Amino acid sequence: MRNTICTRLFAAAVLLFMTACTPAPQHAPEEKNESDNSGPSWSYSGNAGPDNWDSLDPSFSACANGTEQSPIDIELANVQLDKSLAEININYTPTSFTLVNNGHTIQANDASGRNTLTVDNEEYILLQMHFHKPSEHLINGQPFEMEGHLVHQNTEGKLAVLGFLINAGNENKIFAEMFSKLPQVETEEDVTLEKFVDLENLLPNEKNFFRYSGSLTTPPCSEDVKWIVMDQPIEMSKEQIEAFGSIFPHNSRPIQPLNGRKVSEQES
């Protein structure tokens, strides 16, 4: 009997030691989406519109009190060419995406972890892409038909957003399947695309960028976001633009004060 008890006590001690010494599982950083649909209800118009975002919840206070808010009007006369900036490396590969309608935009999620952006010698992994109509960023006061945001996150949870402006023109074949399957109403489950999306060939051949420090353009309007806006727009057909516009006729935040921030231009 004594031997049995001793054996059980010894086994329990070994199990306790192994449990104490086993490293805790590593978790991926919490996903932060530039178009997060969680928290208090907000809108692009009415009492829950951009002018009142800060009053909807204390966590939205930066929408009114922040000093580095997005989007901005990029005035070319004030843009500074900065050759000292570290090179931006875009490493995109054809990838499977899933679509959601989150009530504020159409969002295409990338769970692969294979698409990356290196900014200021830090690597950011693509989380998702979403769209605004009309464009949120202006150039010399002029809006574009639409704007796409590619939202990336580094291991510390900080964000870098690559924005691309969209003009009406030829059909965009890279977005052909995506824009033929845009969810018309808010979704509970992702819609899986059959074909891979080739982001590398989506972007302009001449990859020159406007860069500045900004924020999320949706609540909670968090700052310390690295913004990279392509200076050359891409094209989508009138039909593709109207397909999005039939769901979201207007989902853009108004222009925010620059407050002395520097906007730099970086050539590839």
Under a CB-based contact definition with an 8 Å cutoff, are residues 227 and 264 in contact?
A: no
Give percent of the chain above pLDDT 90: 81
Q: Could you give phi then psi for residue 42, rounded to 5 degrees?
A: -140, 165
Under a CB-based contact definition with an 8 Å cutoff, are residues 100 and 190 in contact?
A: yes
By residue count, the chain amounts to 268
At residue 225's C-alpha, the angle toward residues 221 and 228, to 5°, is 120
Which listed residue (104, 130, 137, 149) is catalytic?
104
* For residue 261, pLDDT beyond 70: yes
Query: What contacts 205, CB < 8 A, 6 or more positions away?
Result: none
* For residue 8, pLDDT beyond 70: no
Alpha-carbon distance of 129 to 261, in angstroms, equals 26
Peptide bond into 143 cis (omega under 30): no
State which amino acid sits at residue 140.
Answer: N
What residues are paired with 89 via a beta bridge? Answer: 118
Full-model pTM: 0.86
Q: What are the structural domains of the chain?
A: 62-266 (3.10.200.10)
* For residue 170, pLDDT beyond 80: yes
**b/e code 29-44 from CB counts within 10 Å (16+ = b):** eeebbbbbbeeeebeb
- pLDDT the model gives residue 35: 45
Instruction: Show the tokens assigned to 90.
Output: 């875009």
Half-sphere exposure of 38 (CA within 13 A, CB side): 5
For 60-108, how does the pLDDT look when each residue is reduced to its tens digit (9 = 90+)?
999 999 999 999 999 999 999 998 899 999 999 999 999 999 999 999 9
Q: Could you give phi then psi for residue 234, rounded to 5 degrees?
A: -100, 175
- pLDDT the model gives residue 106: 98
At residue 213's C-alpha, the angle toward residues 207 and 219, to 5°, is 110
State the pLDDT confidence band at 186, using cuts at 50, 70 and 90.
very high
Query: What contacts 47, CB < 8 A, 6 or more positions away?
Result: none
Alpha-carbon distance of 83 to 85, in angstroms, equals 6
Q: Please compute Rg for the chain using Cα positions.
A: 22
Alpha-carbon distance of 185 to 19, in angstroms, equals 47
Give, as one character, the DSSP assignment of residue 248.
Answer: -
At residue 173's C-alpha, the angle toward residues 141 and 109, to 5°, is 75
Q: Helices in the chain by DSSP H: which ranges?
A: 2-21, 53-56, 62-65, 176-180, 238-245
SS3 79: coil
Annotation marks residue 104 as catalytic: yes
- pLDDT the model gives residue 38: 55
For 106-159, how does the pLDDT look when each residue is reduced to its tens digit (9 = 90+)?
999 999 999 999 999 999 999 999 999 999 999 999 999 999 999 999 999 999
For 228-260, how does the pLDDT look when each residue is reduced to its tens digit (9 = 90+)?
999 999 999 999 999 999 999 999 999 999 999
